[in-house]
Amino acid sequence: MEVTIPTENNGTSWKGGNEKPLGASYGKMMMWFFILSDALTFSGFLGAYGLMRFKFHDSWPIADEVFTHFPFLHGFHAPMYYVALMTFILIFSSVTMVLAVDAGHQMNKKKVTFYMLLTILGGAIFLGSQAWEWKNFINGTYGAVKLNDGKIIQFVDATGEQISLESFVKPLHSERTQHTANKGLWFVEEAELPPFTLNEVVESFKANPGISIRTELINPETKAKTIIPHSEAMGFLNEAKSVVMGANLRENEYGKTLFANFFFFITGFHGFHVLSGVIINIIIFFNVIIGTYERRGHYEMVEKVGLYWHFVDLVWVFVFTFFYLV
């Protein structure tokens, strides 16, 4: 594969000479071992996620109810479709990458350039899709109420379908004093205002006998969240502390905050890998164009970045399974 300067090697050279015990060049072998260590890092994260998931096995958010958006389909319940699309984008960019490697073996500069470009585009589209997914998750869909002990209460209609706060909460007139530095604690910032106050939510709930609440607890028989009848709901709402819209590192309208934490951390870490993959791909794309590898006599660099790119795809296959399917 490589153009190496013939050196004399009688097998006793400390420099190793041209011996390649694993049959791969130094760079490729090290890429494999980097991938191995990175795979173990990701399995550590996914393992920690698994631990927490088993720990809260009876009250973990159901992914189908969390990720339900699809571009241009507002209000349409579309679980999984979007993330399936993202998976296809990434798998397809893997295909163009391996086609670039294949063209590199045939020293076909034009084809390598074209397929590298497609790979970069695929990676960029994936990153954009992930940003959109994050945006929806952060903004939230329905809104919920958090209890004093941190549990999340969601609202459902008579059929058990989750409903948004906007659909039933009527604004009440109330006066509110804004917190400024000269009133009370100067170092305390005013918390961000939810679109509805807790009082408005509770009062509107009382006024609507048709709606009810849902706790995080999963019924093992039906694998659905437990619905509390309207008559018993006030026991829960008397404990209510705040209105939650969307998800962040501190609270999550879909349920456990840990779910949001792991989602942001693991998909973020993966997204960061995709980003660095795209950047490395761009560097190598320009190297291909200016003919660096043509002059070097081989396209092994494309092969090495290809390994990394496929690994990123491989990680996504597992993230997809553990966050969206299982």
Partner 1 sequence: MTHAQEHNSHTKLIWKVFAILSVITIVEVALGIIKPDALYLTKILGTSPLNIIFLVLTVVKAYYITWFFMHMADEKKNLRRAVVWTSVFLIIFLATLLLIEGSYINDVLGPLTKWNY
- Residues in region 49-88 near partner 1 by CB under 8 A: 50-59, 64, 79-81, 84, 87-88
Size of residue set near partner 1 by CB under 8 A = 73
DSSP string, 100-126: HHHHHHTT-HHHHHHHHHHHHHHHHHH
Contact region with partner 1 (CB under 8 A), list: 24-32, 128-136, 156-164, 260-268: 24-32
Contact region with partner 1 (CB under 8 A), list: 21-29, 131-139, 159-167, 263-271: 21-29
**Sites for partner 1 among residues 106-145 (CB under 8 A):** 106-107
Task: Provide the minimum distance between the beta carbon of 95 and partner 1 in the complex, in angstroms, as a whole number.
Answer: 5
Q: Is 188 in the site for partner 1 (CB under 8 A)?
A: no
Cβ distance to partner 1 smaller for residue 114 or 248: 114
**Sites for partner 1 among residues 274-313 (CB under 8 A):** 297-298, 303, 306-307, 310-311, 313
Cβ distance to partner 1 smaller for residue 21 or 184: 21
For residues 116 and 94, the answer to whether their CB atoms sit within 8 Å is: no
Cβ distance to partner 1 smaller for residue 33 or 72: 33
C-alpha angle with apex 134: 130 to 136, nearest 5 degrees? 120
**Sites for partner 1 among residues 195-234 (CB under 8 A):** 215, 217, 221-223, 226
Cβ distance to partner 1 smaller for residue 246 or 254: 254
DSSP string, 273-322: HHHHHHHHHHHHHHHHHTTHHHHHT--HHHHHHHHHHHHHHHHHHHHHII
CB atoms within 10 A of CB 18: 13
List the 212-219 sheet strands across, edge first. 224-228, 212-219, 152-156, 144-147, 240-244
Q: Report the residue from 33, 72, 186, 187 that binds partner 1 according to the rule CB under 8 A.
A: 33
Q: Is 326 in the site for partner 1 (CB under 8 A)?
A: yes
218: which DSSP letter?
E
> Cα torsion at 161, 162, 163, 164 (round to 10°)?
-160
